[in-house]
Structure 1
Amino acid sequence: MNPYKIMLVDDEEEVRTSIIRKIDWQDAGFEVIGDAENGKEALEKIEQNEPDVVLTDIRMPYMDGLEMAENIRQRYPSIKIVIFSGFDEFEYAKKAIKLNVIEYILKPVNVEELTAILKKIKKNLDEEIEQKRNVTLLRESYIKSLPAIREHFLNDLIHGGMEEAQIEEKLNEYAIDVAGAVKWVIAAIHLEPDEKVDKAVSLHQQRELIPISVRNLIEEKLEGQYRFIVFHSSFETILLVAIDKDNTQTGLIALLGDICKETKKILEVSVTIGVGESCSSLTDLSRPCHTALNALGYRAITGSGGVICIGDMEPSGHEKLRFDSRMESELIAAVKFGPKEKIRSVIDGIVSRMEDARVHYRQYQAYVLAIINVLTQLSQQYDLRISEMFGVENDYFEILGRVQKMENVRPYLTEVALKMNAGMEEERSNTTKNVIREAKQYIQDNFQDPDLSVEKICRHLHMSPAYFSTMFKKETGQAYIAYLTDVRLGRAVELLMATDDKTYIIAEKVGYPEQNYFSYVFKKKFGVSPTRYRTAHRSGEA
């Protein structure tokens, strides 16, 4: 190792010369790279020569040793300072300690004492350098810092401007499995702890644990179903999800809605999740992140504690001949829900935009391919056969062959969209009938449960209570609670006729733990109490 560089500062030339001549600098591990007679001159030479150690007197003209030490500490904090002085005064020593001076010795300088101090300083410098070079320590430090480094990278990623190669390299380095997806979705997660919760709940006694608990619940729900990463930004907690061929954005939104309900029920925390636009490249995450945060801004309109999709709240801007998320949403909505006039109108708008554009043919192809991609994904989501919908096998090149000529685009896309709409209607009708059939069976099997609510049956069926209630009434002509009441009272009548059980026992058997409420519901439907009903029917009065 090369010797360390040292500078001597003293206003007496004889003192400087004596010290330089008497000390065996090489043996001590140093070389003298210069000397100065005052602090100002020393600072100029320090800037030029960059010494490792400065050995200085205190009393000097223009700038004394302590003032110089203060300047060194501010500008060159790694330089070690040794002060020697002929004044054994406590105040000097005290100030020197504050300036992080490593040694304070008295004149006249003893050769043995100074040599020992220099060797001690050399040893400390060697250890510092060794520690800084120690790969194991650096690796341990890196691992400890990795969560913060990952978060920093992810925040840079969602702000955009990174190259694709750099993104892939960092994703691999930080073991973040979100690359290679069909598209990506960003959700912003906003927490609003309920001030009315029972403070005896341990989680709410340590409110700093709430975000951690919510994050754990989100990770548990998504694990195994989606590839994702959750991290903190300067605004909200951010969820980045990779949408692959075997899962959908629609399914993700449904799952996020379930997460909002569970956090409210289990953690007593209101969580609102804003879902932004999707994007097809990890280099373009800036707008999805921005729109996810914008979605949260609609809490004042929609209320908190649920999922807010930006596509439901506002249309997106568009660029020339780019099949953007607003157009995608319009096409999906038209194909899903019709009517046929709407489908034709949306297709006309999409194709007219392409016809009006003055761009390279490759952009036409990319535009049409984006439309086809949306339609094929929609077909897969509804289990529609690609070959039947598109008139070809599942091959993008064969499909593109159908729309090579501009005049073929409108009739072909319209035909495909209408076929898909009809197929979805049939699939939806069959699905609805199956769901209602399953719901009725679930009610028959569980009507004894006093807690058999809409929410409970919907968890079993994996759908939202609002949609289930609407669909159930449409298909059965009854509200869910009315149907459940009929089932329970029908069974109650059977028990009244077939057994001698007391009214409170029958009430419990059919899902009414409160006898008085059971009698109230029974009388409201049949006009008499359960006891009168039994007496009248057994005596033949009815």
Structure 2
Amino acid sequence: MYKVVVVDDEKSIRERLTRYFPWSDVGFEVVGAAENGREALVLIEQEHPDVVLTDVLMPEMTGLELAKEIKISYPDIKVIILSAYDDFKYAQDAIQYGVKGYMLKPLNKEDFYDVFNKLMGELNEDAELKKVSASNEKWNTQELMLLDLIKGANLQKYTQEWSAQNPYIRVVIFSFERVFKETSTFSIRQKIKELAIDFWKRYRVPVLFYGNSLILLISEQKPVLRKDLKPKILLFADSLQQNLGEIFKEKSHIVVGVGNLAQSIQEISRSYHEAVHASSYKYFSEHETVIFREDLSANEGFANNKIIQDNIVEHVNRIEGKLMESVLIGEITEISNDIHRFFEALERSKGQKISEIRGSCSELVIMLIFRLKEKGLALPSIDNQQVLGKIYEIDSLKELKRWLKQMLETMSYDLTKSDEQNVNRYVLIAKEYVKSNYHEKISLIEMSNILFLHQAYFSAIFKKETGQNFVDYVNEVRIEKATQLLRETDNKVKMISDMVGFHSHSYFIKVFKNEKGVTPVVFRRQQKR
């Protein structure tokens, strides 16, 4: 059982939550309850819960202040916000503090099961990863030293050894955040580490796998210049693609940040943090693999200029009203133009903090939702929490721009079309998406996210409109494409199954036979008669 602490200033609500909700059904037990954030922190220190379920508005310390403190002091604890106020300005802060869910009072059992079943899955994954790491990740002496150096800790232990080393050092970070969003197994991490050790030993470069990043300490007798270092980094990136092509399908999956030159053991930590900072700028340069911290200085000076920042704020405020008008009247072309103008200033100031860009987009969406509510206009298909969460999940400015445009267009359709027309439109969009992307991974959850619909709602309207489940439709499209390839090419059956999006050959054969009555091999033979 995972442990939960409940926090709410109303005694009746605390008792209802702790006593009458079926916690054991979802694998949790309540180990304590508090009436404000300060009491909750004492309880957290005593009980070490896995989850904190907290109200927003409370005396002494609010739920958001509590969430912020938990993120700093207890980063492994999951926080769920519970509020009687359908007010998404709270949601924006909640997302920034790493809150895993945002539910409205009165809490019903359907929402309870939905949120805590998902949370159960996350906690199980976290536990498994910790278990694997504890049993397999053994730090050797060199790795412990590198860890101290990048943290700037225990430097006195290594001063003598490093004073005899090459005097010029750069820290390089290969960040695999994108990769491990999709695939996170110890065997892959170990394979990357082995490839790194084998490649970089020729340059006498020590390596450390820390978190989701591979860290290198490049040291030379002379200054480590960009023109000498970048070719080696790209060569190693090519090696990763050649050896782990199924993981690193695109260069964009590999993000490299390079810190500025360090000339003493005390400066290694600074170079490390600069490399981390540089790697985050992949957000602005989708097709750039290697980003040097020194290249960001000019842009940051530009972005930190107060006059320029004031102009960006003014630009955002001005476009907000225009976007509202375009969304309300359903001017899809104008929405596209307005979004383009909205991002112009952001794209020009690459030195702006990513958090500020996300904050600007969140503010825009929140204000649109509020103003629509003021006018009594509903958005039945928009999951507000999902929309705000998505802004913080997207990891490139280009993708954020595309997503925001699509989301506002969906809003506009919600407002200007009838429910029936909306149903037809969503089903048509889903069908077109499947026809264009059948070779990619497509699930009901992913399609619902693309359309900004609740999963159950999308499943129901698709079944009602087409008479079949969404997954069955995806398979149908893939099988039709497979029959075409079987007729027109000599490709092997296994290759064709991969080409049309079936990543399990046996499953492809099973679905094909169900659809066509024969196996792919028999089908091809029949076509050649």
Normalised TM-score (structure 2) = 0.30
Higher RCO by CA contacts (8 Å cutoff, separation 6 or greater): 2
Normalised TM-score (structure 1) = 0.29
Please say which structure displays the higher CA radius of gyration.
Answer: 1
